[in-house]
Amino acid sequence: MSTKPTPRLILETLLPHLKVAAAYARFLQPKIAALPAKESGDNFFAAALTDADLAIQNLVEVVLLGTFPEIRFYGEEYESSGNTKYFRAVELGSTDDYLVTLDPIDGTKFYMDGHSNYQIILSILNTDDFEAVLAISPAQNIYDYALRDQGAFQGTLEMDLDNCKPLRVTSSKPHVLLGWGMSSIAPALEGQYQVIDVVTDYSSDRQIPNLNGILSGDLSGAVIKSGKFIDGAALAFLAREAGCIVTTLDGSTLPPLHTCKEYSRSGLIVATSKEIHQHLLQATQNSFV
């Protein structure tokens, strides 16, 4: 098989295996036992590491190495995986030398606490921007995917890519999500929106929207301090292809990926309309003057 497959071919090849991973994640969720934390710090979402993270990444790595052995690959659990050393590279390449990334369980804390809005996120990155993102929601039996400048699509896990329906965000609840480090924006938004701050509002007993709530209509906007290539930036790409507005915290267009540091884009504003984007932008600017 070609060593330079198209983004769509990569998605088509991996989708059946990702569906198996989704079934595995769904089966394991009520049985999950946490492994030792990956890192210390206040962000308990990042600190959670589970058997599912490692197992799903290993599955994807085996498929990639067996099918596209020259592909670049960066998975969230690269430090723990025995397969990392077999990939040609884990960094961004030159133009059209794609980097595949994986967040095996996005929202690990949600997953461990039994919530349904965790995802498996696979992305294909070029040197300047995302080429494709596929995000599976195992507990909801759906997945979303987008190809660069071709729009976003949604389907059930029984569907292949061709049978998915176009996904266009046209309406949403007046809820705004604030990521870690964004609590200071809340006062400027209260009254206009129901503000959901992950720092203060997360509950193991009551599910709150994750960033993927933009696609489901549960959120009309979100402000996050940084968007990792494997999760936040990937979901922002999906949202953009579904018709949302995505900018940096100062309202600028997103910088090329190769200019970003540590596999992460700087702060992001994601909004379902121009009006909401302006509200979020103004609140952000006023809070960080």
Extract the annotated binding site for Mg(2+): 76, 103, 105-106, 231
Cα separation of 81 and 96, whole Å? 26
- Helix, strand, coil content of the chain in percent (nearest 5): 35, 25, 40
Long-range contacts of 122-125 (CB under 8 A, 24+ apart): 122/11, 122/14, 122/18, 122/60, 123/229, 123/230, 123/234, 123/237, 124/7, 124/10, 124/11, 124/98, 124/99, 124/100, 125/92, 125/98, 125/99, 125/100, 125/101, 125/229, 125/257
Cα separation of 185 and 284, whole Å? 6
Q: Which residues are annotated as a binding site?
A: 76, 103, 105-106, 231
Cα separation of 127 and 258, whole Å? 5
Other Cβ atoms within 10 Å of 86 Cβ, number: 13
Helix ranges (H only) for 113-231 are 186-189, 198-201, 213-216
Give the 3-state secondary structure of residue 248: strand
Yes or no: say if 81 and 57 are a contact pair by the CB < 8 Å rule. Answer: yes
Rounded to 5 degrees, φ, ψ at 211 are -60, -25
Q: Supply the angle between the helices 7-28 and 51-67 in degrees, to the nearest 10.
A: 150
